[in-house]
Structure 1
Amino acid sequence: MTETPPTHPLDHLVLPTANLDVARARLTSLGFVVAPTGIHPFGTENCCVFLGDGTYLEPLAVGDAQAAAKAIAAGNVFVARDRAFRDRCGDEGFSAIVLSTGNAGADHARYVEAGLSAGGMLSFSRAFADAAGKSDMASFKLAFASGAGATDALLFACERINAPKVDRTALQAHANGATGIIEVVAVSNRPSEQRRLLAVAADAEEDMAFRLPNAGLTLLEPAAFETRFGLPASAPSELRFAGVVFSVRSTDTVATLLAANCIEHDIDGNDIVVRPAPGQGAVFIFREIP
């Protein structure tokens, strides 16, 4: 029997941070262009890093604690899970993987049927501005998945109801030469019990490594993570997202930039590994792709 490949591409990654100014400074020092601050209608805010392959990073902070509290009381899963992550893991980290979908309602139904729904769907709109200040409205519909034991990790499907008609070219011209995300790495003390969650979210067959249409998603035990990247995995967890592998044009360019900005890093073959720091909630790996 032929296995059905995953049909949900990687959309973006959610990286909680205590302060967007700190995140902006850290990401800029790593050679990324950081977009203007985006304000959500439920108390959170972001400063995204957009990549040429269509994926992006979403550093996320709480800008209005009162509005966030009201959203949680009203059943907003996105804000509630952000609060829960911060309560358990602190204000810096990597809390969610977001997959692109053309039908969030169908994904929500799949999650419910599998017993993996994290709660009700969310629809919202927010203003978006490009590097030149041109703005438009972006609208989204989200469906959330999480396992019973995977309290440190959230996956959700994102349907773009209205995509911003703005030019992101300047926002994708990163000094480090980053062009996209090759792989996202998760860590679990019990990976065999968590791979079903990843499979349902990706709408794929169960495995330890998934080939999404535009990136890889790999599940490792802590020891395997440390062996691969030379850094210890974060605190023990049923499931936690831990690493992001970026494609870059030249690792020499990255190494020179990091050295100039006094960013500690390790070189391992074709990879440059940067450990997490405030404003950078995951291990970042830069890999040269010819």
Structure 2
Amino acid sequence: MTETIPARPHLPGACPPGAYPLDHLVLPTASLDVARARLVSLGFVVAPTGIHPFGTENCCVFLDDGTYLEPLAVGNAQGAVKAIADGNVFVARDRAYRDSCGNEGFSALVLGTQNADADHARYVGAGLSAGEMLSFSRAFTDPAGNSDTASFKLAFASGTGATDAFLFACERINAPKVDRTALQIHSNGATGIIEVVAVSTEPSEQHRLISIATRSRAAGQGIGTAFGLPNATLTLLDPVAFETRFGIPAGGPSELRFAAIVCSVRFADTVAKLLAASSVEHDIRGDDIVVRPASGQGAAFVFQEKA
């Protein structure tokens, strides 16, 4: 099947000389069927399966703020092996993540850009490039059955030798307009991603990578460090601070690992009732409803009521 392609989040003067906007998050999974079932149990609408031309496939969750979640599986193992041999950084990083962390997780934070070539040059100049750029196109079909082609250009950044996380800039060369309204109305009332939380055993060592990739300066945030994006916040915590905030283990030692996604919802009570009805275990911690990672859900999901 083909995939519905989201439009860029609407921001005044898109990609100004400042921080880049959050575009989407990549969530490796062993099975899209399992991921789809899990996400539906959390109250999300999940789009039809999308096929990449290099062996991977996804089933995305689109949000009203223009961001989205991308559960990612290997649909064609032979195609993925060939893509890695051909130098495809996206697939190679996915394989490295799975080898290091397993088939369920949260591997990448993706930023919106209007000039991926310039971003690649910045990453190379800073010694943070994760490899060659990737350009590709794929077919998509909108809810009305209209078909077109979407094209992308990606530039990758990561720490030296890091396998647990990477960041990349995504430029949409061609993104036809489609009506995604039906895919953005979630029974849990989710409207957007307001925060992404990463964990590091050496947080200060990650500031340069994150600042260069996001074009946002690190700012103190009590027990952690915040990087402000136009449409979200990237928060970096040490393992103790992560466990203190969310009440769940931070996992094994890592230079950098994305660990939690905070979504805005209209009514917290609606989420709590839905999770209970779906027999999904969750914890209430202050204003947060915390759902631990599970098969098909590689990160902690946190729901916050926002007016």
- Counterpart pick for 2:243 among 209, 223, 226: 226
Q: Distance in 1 between matches of 2:124 and 2:259?
A: 26
**1:117-168 Cα shifts (integer Å, max 9, x gaps):** 0000000011223445443321100000000143210100000011132210
Consecutive unaligned residues in structure 1, runs of 5 or more: none
Q: Distance in 2 between matches of 1:104 and 1:188?
A: 27
Spell out the pairing of 1:150-169 with structure 2 (5 A cutoff): 150-169=162-181
- Higher mean alpha-carbon deviation, 161-170 vs 132-141, is at 132-141
| Residues 107, 258 of structure 2: 8 Å contact kept | yes
- Counterpart pick for 1:214 among 226, 231, 246: 231
Q: Distance in 2 between matches of 1:206 and 1:261?
A: 39
| Residues 216, 228 of structure 2: 8 Å contact kept | no
Specify whether residues 41 and 85 from structure 1 end up closer, same or farther in structure 2 by C-alpha distance, changes over 3 A only: same
Spell out the pairing of 1:180-191 with structure 2 (5 A cutoff): 180-191=192-203
Q: Does 1:271 align with 2:283?
A: no
- Counterpart pick for 1:123 among 115, 135, 140: 135
Amino acid across the alignment from 1:112:
V
Q: TM-score, normalised by structure 2?
A: 0.91
Q: Distance in 2 between matches of 1:206 and 1:256?
A: 37
| Residues 126, 139 of structure 1: 8 Å contact kept | yes
Q: Distance in 2 between matches of 1:270 and 1:43?
A: 40
Q: Distance in 2 between matches of 1:79 and 1:182?
A: 27
Amino acid across the alignment from 1:158:
C
Q: Distance in 1 between matches of 2:142 and 2:50?
A: 10
Q: Does 1:176 align with 2:188?
A: yes
Amino acid across the alignment from 1:141:
K
Q: Which secondary structure state, in structure 1, belongs to the residue aligned with residue 296 of structure 2?
A: coil
Aligned residues: 287
Q: Distance in 1 between matches of 2:54 and 2:17?
A: 35
Q: Does 1:285 align with 2:285?
A: no
Q: CA RMSD in A?
A: 1.3
Q: Distance in 2 between matches of 1:164 and 1:104?
A: 19
Amino acid across the alignment from 2:203:
P
Q: Equivalent residue for 1:136?
A: 148
Q: Does 1:31 align with 2:43?
A: yes
Amino acid across the alignment from 1:284:
F
Consecutive unaligned residues in structure 2, runs of 5 or more: 1-15, 220-224
- Counterpart pick for 1:70 among 73, 82, 93: 82
| Residues 131, 168 of structure 1: 8 Å contact kept | yes
Amino acid across the alignment from 2:158:
S
Specify whether residues 135 and 258 from structure 1 end up closer, same or farther in structure 2 by C-alpha distance, changes over 3 A only: farther
- Higher mean alpha-carbon deviation, 132-141 vs 100-109, is at 132-141
Amino acid across the alignment from 1:76:
N
| Residues 217, 228 of structure 2: 8 Å contact kept | no
| Residues 35, 131 of structure 1: 8 Å contact kept | no
Q: TM-score, normalised by structure 1?
A: 0.96
Q: Equivalent residue for 1:58?
A: 70
Q: Equivalent residue for 1:99?
A: 111
Q: Distance in 2 between matches of 1:6 and 1:233?
A: 31
Q: Distance in 1 between matches of 2:166 and 2:287?
A: 30
Q: Distance in 2 between matches of 1:138 and 1:78?
A: 17
| Residues 30, 258 of structure 1: 8 Å contact kept | yes
Q: Equivalent residue for 1:245?
A: 262
Q: Does 1:82 align with 2:94?
A: yes
Q: Equivalent residue for 1:16?
A: 28
Q: Equivalent residue for 2:275?
A: 258
**1:161-197 Cα shifts (integer Å, max 9, x gaps):** 1113221000000000000000000000001111111
| Residues 35, 130 of structure 1: 8 Å contact kept | no
